[in-house]
A = this chain, B = another copy of it.
């Protein structure tokens, strides 16, 4: 960890040596959600050492784009989606993490509505959705990347209203509660959850109800950004 502490001679970033070989990539943890649980979009690696193993979609960063652009490009290539919630998480940099050479990668996660994805399915798409809890290993250090992104997602879900990014525009209270339960891995009390959510004043009643269910249909709600912007204040959002 803090083993090699030589007092190096002066080095300056403005001396960018031409023999300096090091590549930078982005890797994308693309989360989706359906009734079964939290999903992540994975591809099969074609790197020899990890042939056929599941891995995260990613790519080298082009010289003319920043990291966010690169991550958006990868996301669009794999899902056809743009304007998606996305956040940078962490850089992974172990010297031997990639068999083909020195590659530092920056992890992003994003939240997509899984049905919208299906509709705009990319023709060359090899990617598929996998249940997050069922994933035991991935190629490279991608399992660690996934774990970090999931932890970050859980943190954010507690502190601001991003769960909506994973749901259709109109959703029931049961859906949003179930989403919180599966993403955070906790069981929540229906009445307390609803009380809390209503007190935050970020939901708008659509005036519609579920259709074609053989029981009392639930009201549909929509997330209202204006309400949130006004109400947002310091502190936690949903601290379970």
Residues of A that sit less than 8 Å from B by CB: 1-8, 11-16, 18, 20-25, 46-48, 58-61, 63-69, 72-73, 76-77, 82-83, 88, 90-91, 93-95, 98-106, 235-236, 239
Offer 21 A-B interface pairs, CB within 8 angstroms, sorted by A: A1-B72, A2-B69, A4-B65, A5-B76, A6-B73, A7-B77, A8-B77, A13-B103, A16-B60, A20-B23, A20-B60, A20-B63, A21-B63, A22-B63, A24-B24, A65-B95, A66-B93, A66-B94, A66-B95, A67-B91, A93-B106
Given the known interface contacts A23-B22, A93-B67, A94-B66, the answer about A4 and B60 at a Cβ–Cβ threshold of 8 Å is no
- Whether B16 lies near A64 (C-beta < 8 A) is no
The count of identical subunits is 2
Chain B residues with CB under 8 Å of A47's CB are 12-14
Given the known interface contacts A2-B72, A73-B5, the answer about A98 and B13 at a Cβ–Cβ threshold of 8 Å is yes
Give the distance in Å from the alpha carbon of A103 to the alpha carbon of B6 in the complex.
24
- Whether B93 lies near A90 (C-beta < 8 A) is no
Which of A2, A4, A11, A236 is most buried by chain B, counting CB atoms within 10 A of its CB?
A2
- Whether A60 lies near B23 (C-beta < 8 A) is no
Chain B residues with CB under 8 Å of A14's CB are 46-48, 98-100
Give the distance in Å from the alpha carbon of A22 to the alpha carbon of B106 in the complex.
14
- Whether B46 lies near A7 (C-beta < 8 A) is no
Given the known interface contacts A5-B73, A7-B76, A95-B66, the answer about A18 and B21 at a Cβ–Cβ threshold of 8 Å is yes
